[in-house]
Amino acid sequence: MTILDELADYAKKRVADAKKRVSLEEIKKQAYALPAGTFAFEQALKKPELSFICECKKASPSKGLIAPDFPYLAIAKEYEAAGADCISVLTEPKWFLGHDSYLKEIAGNVSIPCLRKDFTVDEYMIYEAKVLGASAVLLICSILCENQMKQYLRICDELGLSALVEAHDEAEVTRALNAGARIIGVNNRNLKDFSVDTKNSIRLREKIPSDVLFVSESGVKSAADVAKLRKMGADAVLVGETLMRAPDKKAKLKELKG
């Protein structure tokens, strides 16, 4: 079993537990009772220059504990003040030490769109994301079949949520496009063995039509990395660990932007 399989299996267990507390019917009712979203996440990525999605995460399976001290709300506000376009919030509790409450609090206190970064394995998690205040959810090709992606994208559309559809190779990009993805994130980290290769974004860029937003994820460490991705036509970059480890996040983001 790869770590990704374990993450997906654990997400299924989490959903089963959540359904005992709040039924699918109830969470669905709560989600649809809220005003429909305005697809704010994808709107934020459509500006002419490169957009920055800045991530709040305490830990990761590959790096272990990244931020022992984790004032997540202060970090999110610092990102917003530094000019981040969106914030990605980890809610996976076991390997990333995330929590749903982090997302709810951050989304309620910043004015920029928030992505719920989790391992979506059930429609329940999309309704949950809406109720928590997210503007977008993550759908990972490696753990979903094409029909699931189509179904989840349809639910997102009904709720006014954006979906960042993550692919790691050419076959996954094709499946994402077939499912109707409007935003494709190419993960430069192979979630099966955690190796990182930013050339992955460059290789797959030409496979993605210009009317589909292109996000490069993982392994963005320097202004030179950003410049390369800007040159090859990325619409946005998702930066996590590099910012989380920076003592001055505002200065680091300014440096990355070049």
For 43-52, what is the mean pLDDT?
95
What confidence score (pLDDT) does residue 104 get? 98
Q: Is residue 134 a contact partner of residue 109, using CB atoms and an 8 Å limit?
A: no
What confidence score (pLDDT) does residue 218 get? 79
Q: 6 falls in which pLDDT band (50, 70, 90)?
A: very high
Q: What is the mean pLDDT of the chain?
A: 94
User: Beta-carbon neighbour count of residue 222 at 10 Å?
Assistant: 12
Phi, psi of 150 (to 5 degrees): -60, -45
Q: Is residue 236 a contact partner of residue 57, using CB atoms and an 8 Å limit?
A: no
CATH number of the domain encompassing residue 181: 3.20.20.70
What confidence score (pLDDT) does residue 219 get? 78
By mean pLDDT, which of 89-103, 167-181, 195-209 is the weakest? Answer: 195-209
Q: 39 falls in which pLDDT band (50, 70, 90)?
A: very high
pLDDT at 73 over 90: yes
Task: Give per-residue pLDDT as tens, 57-66.
Answer: 999 988 899 9
Instruction: State the Cα–Cα distance between residues 6 and 4, nearest whole angstrom.
Output: 5
Residue 241 corresponds to which amino acid?
Answer: E
Q: 84 falls in which pLDDT band (50, 70, 90)?
A: very high
Phi, psi of 117 (to 5 degrees): -90, 105
For 169-196, what is the mean pLDDT?
87
Q: Between these two residues, 100 and 2, which has the higher pLDDT value?
A: 100
Q: 1 falls in which pLDDT band (50, 70, 90)?
A: confident
Range of the domain at 22: 3-257
For 165-184, what is the mean pLDDT?
95
What confidence score (pLDDT) does residue 131 get? 98
User: Beta-carbon neighbour count of residue 104 at 10 Å?
Assistant: 17
Query: Mind telling me the catalytic residues?
Result: 55, 57, 117, 166, 187, 217-218
Instruction: State the Cα–Cα distance between residues 131 and 136, nearest whole angstrom.
Output: 12
pTM: 0.95
pLDDT at 191 over 70: no
What confidence score (pLDDT) does residue 155 get? 98
Please give the structure tokens belonging to residue 238.
């998702």
For 88-103, what is the mean pLDDT?
97
What is the total count of domains within the chain? 1
Length of the chain: 258
For 173-201, what is the mean pLDDT?
85
Phi, psi of 239 (to 5 degrees): -120, 125
Three-state DSSP string of the chain: CCHHHHHHHHHHHHHHHHHHHCCHHHHHHHHHHCCCCCCHHHHHHCCCCCEEEEEECCEECCCEECCCCCCHHHHHHHHHHHCCCEEEEECCCCCCCCCHHHHHHHHHHCCCCEEEECCCCCHHHHHHHHHHCCCEEEEEHHHCCHHHHHHHHHHHHHHCCEEEEEECCHHHHHHHHHHCCCEEEEECECCCCCCECCHHHHHHHCCCCCCCEEEEECCCCCHHHHHHHHHCCCCEEEECHHHHCCCCHHHHHHHHHC
For 200-216, what is the mean pLDDT?
90
For 178-191, what is the mean pLDDT?
88
Q: Is residue 202 a contact partner of residue 228, using CB atoms and an 8 Å limit?
A: yes
pLDDT at 7 over 70: yes
